[in-house]
Structure 1
Amino acid sequence: MGVMQRVLVSGRVQQVGYRDYVVRQAQRLGVKGWVRNLNDGRVELLADADAAVIDEFLSKCREGPQLARVDDLSAFPVEERPVKGFTKRFTP
């Protein structure tokens, strides 16, 4: 069964390749959604996949790429329209 999660990630997650890393992990696992920087230094993402896949994806998001440091990752369920693929979005 599909699960959609909105995720907020804080730490050293901007200017370190974190969004590209998230896109690669999403594509590898078949997660649909998007990722974007926020003006306050956090990264926000929407992830849609089966529960087991979401768990693995969030685990990878907690690791991040080599230059990143994830201090906090908060995920909560949301109901939104399904999306296709996984993309980077512009900062709102």
Structure 2
Amino acid sequence: MARQRYIVTGKVQGVGFRYWTHHTAFSLGLHGWVRNRPDGSVEIVAEGDLGSLRQFEKELWQGPVSSRVADVIPCDTNLQEELTEFSMQ
């Protein structure tokens, strides 16, 4: 299992991005969470097999129709929490 944290910037709040992310992660069998950040970006932690994470990152660049993704920034994560589902925070 691999774990990755992402920061997604652009027009990603108020456009259903978290719901879309939840659906996309679930369809790829990933566990983790997604949340809005005060600066207007969205933060995601996802865990699963490496191939699914790579596909997930590609999907993040597309986002839902009403979004405009400017950047998807993969970040290191040292979170140790157990992830058993994909949730919206």
TM-score, scaled relative to structure 1: 0.91
**Quick check: 1:3–1:77 contact (8 Å CA) kept in 2?**
no
Q: 1:22 Cα deviation (Å)?
A: 0.2
What are structure 2's unaligned runs of at least 5 residues?
A: none
Partner of 1:63: 62
What's the secondary structure of 1:21's corresponding residue?
helix
What are structure 1's unaligned runs of at least 5 residues?
A: none
What's the secondary structure of 1:40's corresponding residue?
coil
Over the matched positions of the two proteins, sequence identity in percent amounts to 34
Kindly report the root-mean-square deviation, in angstroms, between the aligned alpha carbons of the 2 structures: 0.9
TM-score, scaled relative to structure 2: 0.94
Following superposition, which runs of at least 4 residues in structure 1 exceed 3 angstroms of deviation? none
Count matched residues.
88
User: Map of 1:5-84 to 2, 5 A cutoff?
Assistant: 5-79=4-78, 80-84=80-84
